């Protein structure tokens, strides 16, 4: 049985290798989904999402054959006059990459200034149960938002 620290470390590793690290797309697990996965030893991670400018998805972690953790999210560009999906993605990947590398965690407490906008991620809770929000401000205006929540899956 893996510890909560092992789970958290794997989540950070997998997130840094998948979306943020430009991971390889996998065949879709559901019609219309875009899937990016990562695996190490008995750990397996899948980020499966739908959409583009407005999008929804779920990340899941398995240990062996057992689903152990999941996170759902919905994000969208709310001010397309200030930022588009491509620039928002650049800001998010850069900010999250910095958080994973420097802070070795995946939940909130992050502010990152980028030429395209200021990224802020706030959350409450921990790996076991959490909710949070990430936003990008451009010229002092909220231009992008994403809400997320998740935690342990207990059989």
* Sheet with strand 34-40: strands edge to edge: 25-26, 34-40, 43-51, 54-63, 66-77, 141-152, 129-138, 117-126, 110-114
Instruction: Give residue 60's pLDDT band: very low, low, confident or very high (50, 70, 90).
Output: very high
pLDDT tens column, 1-41: 689 999 999 999 999 999 999 898 999 999 999 999 999 99
In this prediction the pTM is 0.94
Say if residue 74's pLDDT is above 80: yes
């Amino acid at each position: 049985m893996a510890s909560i620290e092992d789970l958290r470390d794997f989540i950070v590793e997998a997130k840094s290798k998948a979306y943020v690290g430009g991971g390889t797309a996998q065949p879709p697990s559901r019609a219309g989904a875009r899937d990016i996965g990562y695996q190490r030893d008995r750990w397996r991670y899948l980020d499966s999402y739908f959409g583009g400018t407005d999008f929804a998805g779920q990340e899941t972690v398995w240990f062996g054959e057992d689903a152990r953790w999941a996170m759902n999210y919905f994000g969208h560009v709310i001010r397309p006059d200030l930022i588009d999906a491509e620039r928002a993605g650049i800001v998010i990947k850069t900010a999250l990459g910095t958080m994973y590398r420097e802070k070795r965690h995946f939940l909130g407490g992050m502010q990152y200034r980028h030429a395209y906008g200021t990224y802020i991620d706030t959350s409450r809770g921990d790996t076991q149960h959490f909710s949070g929000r990430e936003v990008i401000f451009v010229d002092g205006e909220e231009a992008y938002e994403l809400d997320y929540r998740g935690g342990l899956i207990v059989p």
